[in-house]
Amino acid sequence: MTALAPARPPAPQGRAPGPLLLGVRHHGPGSARGVLAALEAARPEAVLIEGPAEADALVALAADPAMRPPVALLAHAVDDPGRAAFWPFAAFSPEWAAIRWALGRGVPVRFADLPAALTLAAGPARDDGEEHAPGADTAAARIDPLAELARAAGHEDPEQWWEDVVELRGDTDPLAPFEALAEAMTVLRERYGHGGHPRDLVREAHMRLRLRDARKEFGDAVAVVCGAWHVPALARRTTVTADRALLKGLPRTKTELTWVPWTHRRLARRSGYGAGIESPGWYGHLFSAPDRPVERWMTEVAGLLRESDHPVSSADVIEAVRLADALAALRGRPRPGLAETTDAVRAVLCGGSDVPLDLVRDRLVVGDVLGEVPAAAPAVPLQRDLDRLQRRLRLRPGAEERALDLDLRGETDAARSRLLHRLRLLGVDWGTPTGGRAGTGTFREPWRLRWEPELHVRVVEAGVWGTTVESAATARAEARALGAGSLGEITDLAERCLLAGLTGALPTVLGALADRAALDTDAAHLADALPALARALRYGDVRGTDTAALAAVAAGLAERICVGLPPACAGLGADAAAQMRDRVDAVHAAITLLPDPDLHPTPDPSTPDPSTPVADSPLVARWAGVLRRLVRGERVPGTIRGRAARTLLDEGWLSEEETGRAMGLALSPGTPPADAAAWIDGFAGGPGGGLLLVHDERLLALLDGWLTGVPAEAFTDVLPLLRRTFGGYEAGVRRTLGELVARGPDAAAPGSAALIPGFAADPDEERADGVLPLLHLVLGPEAAA
């Protein structure tokens, strides 16, 4: 049986006959309570809401128990999903309160604003790219009605004025505030003319037409909830012909609408959404706790601070409430507002510090509340598949930023990783990898997750590529491979495909990669591309992906680098040389990462000739030869020659005697000081450079001798480069180097470490073995393999 609606009481005395026009400020708890009181007093037979007209088919979902605000209506163009608009609603939004009131009493509720088909076809309404929404009355485009009214009342702060006259006070007559506000808006519109966005004329014409249709069906027993600025326009008498003329010929586009979750943080002005409010968490509290709101607020603040290990006692809470009441009385306010409660929290609960107060502002005043939408809401197939995966992998979206550390050895975490990487390929950046991979691959993969409402639009946009996350990501990767403009883009794409487990896209991506690599003759481009391929090969091993085809492409790329890199390093300027030095480092690291075990050289101490490669792999032997050519290159900049010598020494491909000879030549009196300083920066700069000088006093003595011999007029020029080199060392390394230099060259025999603090003459193997159990605990069982 259908419940009978309660009888509608007669119109209050003194109110003119006609529809009930309730002008509100969007997202205001006082306005929301006022709307509920007015609707309960007037008992209309139909309610019209400011919002896109097509949403009538979705309004019934607002009564679903699974629908929890904040939520938003999302409209997007079918042929261009990126063109979209949001209409957000919070629990304290007057429009949402009116919708829930009407649905709870069986009263028809309809949306009266301009259809989204017209709004999206006309283009963005504001500079920030957001379309009109209930929280974004475009009347503020030219004047701010609240500011004008506050100024007329003698208040400098319109937010505080509105809070005093609406949000913090109650009225015995539920209709009186709306009548006063309508009168004020009428005066403002008479004084300033239209004063709003030009599209308001069209919107108001459509709302009048919808209101006429409702009055034909229900008479004057109709209530309209809209922005207060529009009330005079809806009360104005116009003809149907004139209103239809304003709408005639407007462009249209096919649209789809649905409900999507929204967040309190997205409602805040500081998030960049111009339709928002500064304190959605505070407003939500005022709406949900009309009785003793200050006491309840202080209790919530105390609980948050205690969770953060900030001591707060019950006596502190009582004192903070008293101080807020006293401040409100001193400032002539009807009740303590956000300013008074914030001042009291800072003074009493935070001990005068803004550090814990910032936490209160972020977590409570704004907040990370994320709404929920029932499964019955319309959604594109891609969104349905994403919802299914999120449930299966127990990876629920949240408005607050959180860390997620994945262990790729577990199937669930590996599947989570694939999902996040696939979404990133689709432009849905729900997660961001953090921590850096250092080029070696790892079973651990750290992420930072945060779901933003705009990601729903990205999902809709990505829906054109497929109906599931995997198929859409595969199609998107193949399209990007065919349209990639550079070799680096394709290598990066190949790495991302392996991370995402998109084996179906790899043939297309690798084919495009091979074609592009064959045509690109720039050694710098090839050097930039190889590291990504090497990382992809290592990640393929971790994830159990077949990477044989990628390994062949990487090997061919490495061969071409060995041929083209030495000529590319000749005659470079300082900045270009520094970039090329970094490329040499990256290529060397990449070659050591290639998965073929034959590519890893093993130093042979019995090799008589240090210039002979000590590796069995032809590719590594060629790379060692390339580094030797760079060391001896006369036209190669010093920073590259120094780094090549350092790399050869680190790998055991160059003896200490040969390294000393190369350093002696680089620091000889005939070498210009700037070139010698560049060689030092390349050789001793970067990780481990300082320890190398600490352990090899012969190299340190060569450096010390050269530095003391630099002419005074040249020393000023080389000092910045030397400071950059040595400034990068750890404090302990710099201190030890200083002690060694202070002792002088005769303090110990070359190569001896007997007199260096903290070092013994010979390694103590027994003490070294003592750290193995700890390393086993830190690094895990795989470290022992």
DSSP-assigned letters across all residues of 409-432: TSHHHHHHHHHHHHHHHTT--SEE
Q: How confident is the model at residue 197 (pLDDT cuts 50, 70, 90)?
A: low
**pLDDT tens column, 306-360:** 999 999 999 999 999 999 999 999 988 888 989 999 999 999 999 999 999 999 9
Segment 257-279 mean pLDDT: 71
Query: pLDDT at position 418, please?
Result: 92
Output the pLDDT for position 9. Answer: 46
Q: Which residues contact 586 (CB under 8 A, 6 or more apart)?
A: 439, 527, 528, 530, 531
pLDDT for res 475: 92
Does residue 682 or residue 704 have the better pLDDT?
Answer: 682
Taking Cα atoms as reference points, which of 456, 60, 110 lies closest to residue 256? 456
Give the mean model confidence (pLDDT) for residues 753-774: 68
Mean pLDDT of 236-259: 92
pLDDT score recorded for residue 782? 54
Which residues, at least 6 apart from 395, have a Cβ–Cβ distance to it below 8 Å?
389, 416, 419
- Range with the poorest average pLDDT among 56-60, 247-251, 296-300, 431-435: 431-435
Instruction: Find the helix packing angle between 638-651 and 656-666, rounded to 10°.
Output: 170
Query: How many percent of the chain have pLDDT more than 70?
Result: 84
Q: Of the ranges 27-41, 178-192, 447-461, 696-710, which one carries the lowest mean pLDDT score?
A: 696-710
Among 167, 221, 226, 184, smallest CA distance to 33 is for: 167
Confidence of residue 274 (pLDDT cuts 50, 70, 90): very low
- Give pLDDT, residue 49: 96
258 beta partners: 74
Query: What is the average pLDDT across 207-221?
Result: 94
Span 493-507, mean pLDDT? 86
Structure confidence by residue, pLDDT tens digits, 409-429: 889 999 999 999 999 999 999
Comparing 408 with 425, the larger pLDDT belongs to 425
Per-range mean pLDDT, top range of 128-142, 570-584, 686-700: 570-584
Split at pLDDT 50, 70, 90, the class of 773 is confident
* Nearest-angstrom CA–CA distance, 589 and 684: 18
Could you tell me which residue, 76 or 5, shows the higher pLDDT?
76
604 pLDDT more than 60: no
Sign of CA dihedral 14, 18, 20, 21: negative
Going by C-alpha positions, the residue among 45, 94, 26, 70 that lies closest to residue 261 is 70
Where is pLDDT greater, at 735 or 537?
Answer: 735
In one-letter notation, the amino acid at residue 457 is V
Phi, psi dihedral angles at 380 (to 5 degrees): -70, 155
Q: Pairing relation of β-strands 46-52 and 222-227?
A: parallel
- In 3-state terms the chain splits into helix, strand, coil percentages (rounded to 5) of 60, 10, 35
Question: For 94-98, 249-253, 344-348, 552-556, which range has the lowest pLDDT when averaged over its residues?
Answer: 552-556
Q: Which span out of 131-140, 214-223, 579-588 was modeled with the highest average pLDDT?
A: 214-223
> Can you say whether the dihedral through the CA atoms of 9, 10, 16, 18 is positive or negative?
positive
Average pLDDT over residues 83-91: 89
Q: Is residue 276's pLDDT more than 80?
A: no
Rounded mean pLDDT, 641-650 = 86
- Per-residue model confidence (pLDDT) at position 605: 37
pLDDT value at position 241?
Answer: 93
**Rounded to whole angstroms, what are the CA distances from 724 to 118, 586, 717, 729, 741?**
60, 21, 13, 9, 19
Average pLDDT of 28-40? 90
Residue 751 has pLDDT above 50, yes or no: no
Angle between helices 29-42 and 94-104 (to 10 degrees): 30
What pLDDT does residue 346 have? Answer: 95
Best CA proximity match to 675, nearest among 687, 666, 662, 665: 666
* pLDDT value for 289: 86
The predicted pLDDT at position 79 comes to: 86
Asked whether residue 119 carries a pLDDT value surpassing 70, the answer given is: yes
Pairing of strands 109-113, 46-52: parallel
Residue 169 has a pLDDT of: 65
Least confident of 139-153, 208-222, 375-389, 424-438: 139-153
561: pLDDT confidence band, cut at 50, 70 and 90?
A: confident
> Quick check: bond before 70 cis, omega within 30?
yes
Please check whether residue 126 is in contact with residue 54, taking contact to mean a CB–CB distance below 8 angstroms: no
Q: What is the pLDDT of residue 46?
A: 96
Please report, in angstroms and rounded to a whole number, the separation of the first and last CA atoms in the chain: 73
- Say whether pLDDT at 366 is over 60: yes
pLDDT band for position 134 (cuts 50, 70, 90): very low
Mean pLDDT of the chain: 81
Hey, which residues does 20 pair with through a beta bridge? 223
> d(Cα 748, Cα 733) in Å, to the nearest integer?
18
Spatial CB neighbours of 387, under 8 Å, sequence gap ≥ 6: 375, 379
pTM above 0.75? no
Report angle CA 441, 447, 448 to the nearest 5 degrees: 155
Over residues 228-256, the mean pLDDT reads: 91
Cβ 641 vs Cβ 649: under 8 Å: no
- Estimate to the nearest angstrom the gap between the alpha carbon of 528 and the chain centroid: 26
Q: What count of Cα atoms within 13 Å lies in the side-chain half-sphere of residue 611?
A: 6
Q: Do residues 25 and 95 lie in contact, with contact meaning Cβ atoms separated by under 8 Å?
A: no
Token pair in block for residue 656: 């200490």
Task: Give Cβ neighbours of residue 743 (< 8 Å, ≥ 6 apart).
Answer: 755
At residue 439, does pLDDT exceed 50? no
* pLDDT category of residue 140 using cuts at 50, 70 and 90: very low
